[in-house]
Structure 1
Amino acid sequence: MKDWYLLYCKRSEQERAVINLDRQGVECYYPQVTVQKVVRGKRVEAFEPLFPSYMFVYFDPEVVTYTTVRSTRGVANFIRQGAVPQVVQPDLIYGLMVNEDSEEQRKKLSHLPQPGETLKLSKGQFKGIEAIYQEPDGEKRSFMLINLLGKPVKVSVKNEDIRNK
């Protein structure tokens, strides 16, 4: 009988795992979201996994064995409860599939402040300081312009340390 399972994939090898598992008749699903990224100085929209390095697979262990799936290129291992791979409830998977492409979900996950927007830092070494958002700096950091001793200084801070004024 077919069930959904959760796999941990090798870093950035989900696509390779999907191709190889598909050849074996294993259905694969990993939710993706649209995020805004800076590539070569330009802001672009890109698809990224909602859960990096994790993938849901649907198969019958009597047809395709756990060992075969685990040994597939790109796959690291099953998420287990004890020695047995953990079965994932189908309602969870279908809920993710339904909400994956919603406009509201995209806005939540891809919101970045606009350059020039005044923000207040909520965590970290600059907590409580007002700053002017300059530009994104990678996945989890942003450049901010803060005023230290009367002189504007450009610093890099974690995105979760920022809150709107």
Structure 2
Amino acid sequence: MKNWYVVYTKPKWEKKVAEKLNEIGIECYCPLIIQIKQWTDRKKKVEVPLFNSYVFVQLEDTDRNSVFQISGVVRYLFWLGKPAIVRNEEINIIKTSLAAPNLSDVSVTSIQVGDRIKLESGAFSNQDAIVQEISNTYYTLVLESLGCVLKIKYK
């Protein structure tokens, strides 16, 4: 059975690694979002990875070492001492959320540090999270099921 694994890449190599993995026949997914980058003389819309230095690969457990043929692949992401496995449903949630309009339409009311919440929209909709930190401009959430920390900026 093929599982989705998380490959850690060199910084800024996510798209190159995904392209090369596809070329050698490894199914992979590098979720991308559009950001507006500001330079001194102009603004430009740029496609950037949703997860810095992460690419999802789907392959048999016995074929996991084949990703190391690709320059830019560093290692697998591990969770509890084993390679992290991402469920198909979670990959599908990311894909559907990125396809939905108004990704940035998120509202938050009276949340305290330590609260358990369920994200209702965006790339991580229907994910449970624990509020780790609240500042003047962002929330830091722990997504235990994905083994990551999410920082959400708000106005």
Q: Give TM class, smaller chain.
A: 0.5 to 0.7
CA RMSD in angstroms comes to 2.6
- Could you report, residue by residue, the CA deviation over 1:49-72 in whole angstroms, capped at 9, with x for unpaired residues? 11111111111234xx22221342
- One-letter amino acid matched to 1:96: I
Return 88-97 or 24-33, whichever deviates more: 24-33
For structure 1, the residue ranges without an aligned partner over 5 or more in a row are 110-121, 124-159
Retained in 1: the 8 A contact 2:15–2:49?
no
Runs of 4+ in 1 over 2 A off after TM superposition: 81-84, 106-109
Aligned position for 2:89:
91
Structure 1 equivalent of residue 12 of structure 2: 12
Worse-superposed segment, 50-59 or 32-41: 32-41
State the aligned residue count.
113
Q: CA deviation at 1:17?
A: 1.1
- TM-score norm. by structure 2 comes to 0.62
Structure 2 residue runs without a partner (length 5+): 107-121, 123-135, 138-152
The aligned residue for residue 80 of structure 1 is 78
In 1, Cα distance between equivalents of 2:19 and 2:85: 22
Residues 98-142 of structure 1, C-alpha deviations (whole Å, 9 max, x = no match): 111322115669xxxxxxxxxxxx47xxxxxxxxxxxxxxxxxxx
Change (3 A) 1:30 1:107: farther
Name 1:24's counterpart in structure 2.
Answer: 24
> 1:1-165 counterparts in 2 under 5 A?
1-62=1-62, 65-105=63-103, 122=136, 163=155
- Separation (CA, whole Å) in 1 of partners of 2:10 and 2:24: 19
Cα 1:70–1:11 change in 2 (3 A) is same
Q: Secondary structure at the match of 1:105?
A: coil
Instruction: Give me the whole-angstrom Cα distance separating, in 2, the residues matched to 1:106 and 1:57.
Output: 27
What letter is aligned with 1:89? R
